[in-house]
Amino acid sequence: MPDRLVVRTVPVDDPGDLVARLPHPGSVAWIRRGEGLAGWGEAARVAIPAGEDRFTAGEKWLIELFDGSEVTDEVGLPGCGPVAFGSFTFDPTSDGSVLVVPAVVLGRGAGRSWLTTIGDPQAPTPADPARPPAGLRWHDGSLTAPQWQRAVASAVARIRAGDLSKAVLARDLYATASQDIDARVLLARLAARYPDCWTFCCAGLVGATPELYIRRVGADVRSLVLAGTTPRGASAAEDSALGAALLASAKDVEEHRYAVADVRRALAPLCDRLDIDEQPWLLRLANLQHLATGVTGRLAGPQRAAPAGLSEHASALALAAALHPTAAVCGTPAGTAMELIRELEGMDRGRYAGPVGWVDARGNGEWGIALRCAELDGPRARLFAGCGIVADSDPVAELAETQVKFRPVQDALEG
């Protein structure tokens, strides 16, 4: 851990496109509808070992780091002062969870813009031009399409036998370019094409997730639960028909109900008030429609208001840890579904379907589920897509759904 951080946040003029301000590929970002945070450089970083306590270990590290910081904050909004970006593994037995505190963060929100620097202000970093991926070649992931369909059929059989109610099965896909892939290109394309998603980049994991685990501002919290999916239609009439069919689908409504129940179980003990939409509604994105349920609440107990030091019980990171994994990305019951995923998927998900987001020194922050994403490693990209499997699931239809879910990142890579 570095010595005492000296942090300063000052107001600045509107910086324009946040992604365009990132000087090099090794950057971090969390952006929706043009607002959010974009950072570069590293004031501190920790790789967190595998284990059920990986979230607790990460928060302990942050508390020690932030409590020892010297902070001057002239703006005072969520995301000001020192901020940590994080990405955690889906499976507690997997290594790869990471927290990064950038040396520079450019932020925009609530009608204001700001710049946070850690340490002595440095001369602006010369910007490396972002180059689109070229010479892409595509490769099968851990399972071929027929193998994955057989895995789905096996999961359906187990569900019908009463072993569990739902399992989420994912598959991966690889792309190799002729040169290292620049995350900024993917960020810019995803942010432009999916403005209603949370576009993110952290330690090489880049994507645009439609699903918000938790947003915490002071004692107020918000979550957006998604489960149940159908494509967009080619016409307004077809689009409406597909949406109506999704709302009427017993299979998809059942899948969605499990995910909402998980969020209720996780948040209710932590909140004085929790309001959950009575019925799911349609969230229409550029390529897909999802069943969605909004959740809002107010945290119980006193909130620490000190300028440094995470909230003792209910930071955004602690709330994300309480929620993970929900039925939206794992299944019901979670323990049985996790074992089935390990048995049938034939791969380590890494940080796919784990929490990704940011938290500041007051415990405010936003964490999403790492969906519609790819893990970048030099010229190689590993893409992921998954589906909720219940008793009525059809392996052919589920495979088609994964192909639609791959498209946002495939298109971002291809142009």
Specify the 3-state DSSP secondary structure of 191.
helix
Rounded CA separation 296/301 (Å): 17
In a domain? residue 370 = yes
What's this model's pTM, rounded to 2 decimal places?
0.94
Q: Are 155 and 166 in contact (CB under 8 A)?
A: no
Spans in the chain with pLDDT lower than 70? 1-2, 121-126, 302-313
Catalytic residue among 59, 211, 255, 398: 211
Rounded CA separation 257/141 (Å): 30
In a domain? residue 70 = yes
Return the pLDDT at 26.
87
In a domain? residue 94 = yes
Q: Are 117 and 54 in contact (CB under 8 A)?
A: no
Rounded CA separation 166/331 (Å): 5
In a domain? residue 127 = no
In a domain? residue 49 = yes
Q: For 201-229, give the DSSP string.
A: EETTEEEEES-EEEEEETTEEEEEEEEEE
Return the pLDDT at 124.
61
Return the pLDDT at 258.
87
Q: Which domain holds residue 215?
A: 6-121+136-414
Tokens of residue 29, six digits = 């970002």
Q: Are 226 and 386 in contact (CB under 8 A)?
A: no
Return the pLDDT at 165.
94
Q: How many residues does the chain have?
A: 415
Rounded CA separation 113/256 (Å): 37
In a domain? residue 126 = no
Q: Are 236 and 246 in contact (CB under 8 A)?
A: no
Specify the 3-state DSSP secondary structure of 287.
coil
Number of domains forming the structure of the chain = 1
Q: Identify the CA nearest to 45 among candidates 29, 61, 56, 30.
A: 61
SS3 content of the chain, % helix, strand, coil (to 5): 30, 35, 35
Return the pLDDT at 121.
66
Tokens of residue 189, six digits = 């394309």
Catalytic residue among 166, 255, 375, 405: 166
How far the first Cα of the chain sits from its last, in Å, is 40
CATH of the domain at 176: 3.60.120.10
Q: Which residues contact 412 (CB under 8 A, 6 or more apart)?
A: 185, 186, 189, 190, 193
Whether 405 sits among the annotated catalytic residues: the reply is: no
Q: Are 191 and 208 in contact (CB under 8 A)?
A: yes
Q: For 7-25, give the DSSP string.
A: EEEEE----S-TGGG--SS
Q: How far is CA 152 from the centre of its chain?
A: 24
Pairing of β 70-73 and β 6-11? parallel
Q: Are 78 and 360 in contact (CB under 8 A)?
A: yes
In a domain? residue 378 = yes
Return the pLDDT at 287.
85
Specify the 3-state DSSP secondary structure of 174.
strand
Return the pLDDT at 221.
95
In a domain? residue 128 = no
